[in-house]
Amino acid sequence: MNETISYKDAGVDIDAGNSFVDKIKPIVKETFDKNVIGGIGSFAGAYELPEGYKKPVILSATDGVGTKLKLAIESKKLNTVGIDLVAMCVNDLICNFASPLVFLDYYATGKLNVEASLEILKGIANGCKLAETALIGGETAEMPGMYHNDDFDLAGFAVGIAEKDEMDRTKKIKIGDVLIALPSSGLHSNGYSLARKIFFEKLKMRFDEPLGDKTLIDTLLEPTRIYVKTFKLLKPYINALAHITGGGIVENLPRVLPSGLQARIYKSNIKTLPVFDVLGKYVKEDEMYRTFNMGIGMILVVNPSNVDAVLAQTDGYIIGEISSGENKALII
């Protein structure tokens, strides 16, 4: 008789997967609001649309965390990358004037480590709380042969709702509008391949070496700031907003500008962070501004009459204005 081979022998532990699902249920439930229908375990997550919208439009966004995950894996600090995952999705949604409603995650690994996976999931749940969105579903895939050792990957999917008439922000932007920067918490989730090359290959720094008032690894793993609550608070005062991710200010800010208008950013106004000061010693300035957020996570376009109200309710600061000209962001 031939020896039988189980799924577990092939590297997939169904029991561990079931144990993980049981452990995450109470964590996930903490993100629910009154519009969530059912719970975790069905074939799809269900969410009742909120009332009060005249012409509701559903918007969606998806993203990952990139090679920042490699640092989390190597340092075994897994409790913050879930926040990054949520942030990268919901921060995009609000740029289309959508309020996030629900979030789903995809987590793939070579071998499911329940305790490590719980740390990751807790981060995702914390991110959902910060974004005031419900974690209504997800997928955990154990894929031996595809991922090795402790490697894993994350993908996130966010769905939001907006008024159709509020989505096109370009018609709101006028010459003389003021550009207000909302600070980033660090690199957020972009530029890590370059940052890793500089810090660990060129400078050969250790995780525990100081950078500013933190260690290098804590600086690099500082989670992406989530701007959803700020957006909801300031929504009546905002003409447009741009999420500063890969491509930096010069590639992301023009995405919200109408034809014939440009953004003028005053370099001397930008409040950078120590991590960018170090990176800037080894990267050309134009490359820095095309790769990193340079200390700015979101840029708001605001009518001059609303500037004081915005500044009074945030940690934002003025970095420039809108003028006539070619559709681009000029850093001067």
Q: Which helix (H) or strand (E) holds 218?
A: helix 216-220
pLDDT of residue 21: 77
Could you give the C-alpha distances from 285 to 243, 246, 282, 320, 331, in angstroms and in order? Answer: 20, 15, 9, 19, 11
CA distance 263 to 253: 8
pLDDT of residue 248: 96
Q: Specify the residue for token string 């989670």.
A: 223
pLDDT of residue 15: 66
The token pair that represents 221 in the structure block: 């793993």
> In tens digits, what is the pLDDT along the chain, a chain of 332 residues?
567 766 675 566 666 767 777 787 888 899 999 999 987 777 888 999 999 999 999 999 999 999 999 999 999 999 999 999 999 999 999 999 999 999 999 999 998 888 999 999 999 999 999 999 999 999 989 898 898 888 999 999 999 999 999 999 999 999 999 999 999 999 999 999 999 999 999 999 999 999 988 999 999 999 999 999 999 999 999 999 999 999 999 999 999 999 999 999 999 999 999 999 999 999 999 999 999 999 999 999 999 999 999 999 999 999 999 999 999 999 99
pLDDT of residue 6: 61
pLDDT of residue 18: 72
Q: Residue 64 pairs with which residues in a beta bridge?
A: 155
CB 36 within 8 A of CB 30: no
The residues, any chain, with a CB within 8 Å of residue 142's CB and separated by 6 or more, are 11, 12, 13, 16, 17, 109, 110, 111, 112
- Cα 170 to its chain centre, rounded Å, is 23
pLDDT of residue 87: 98
DSSP letters along 234-286, please?
A: HGGGEEEEEE--TTHHHHHGGGGPPTTEEEEE-GGG----HHHHHHTTTS-HH
pTM of the model: 0.94
Domains with residue ranges and CATH for the chain: 14-166 (3.30.1330.10), 170-331 (3.90.650.10)
The sign of the CA dihedral 22, 142, 123, 160 is negative
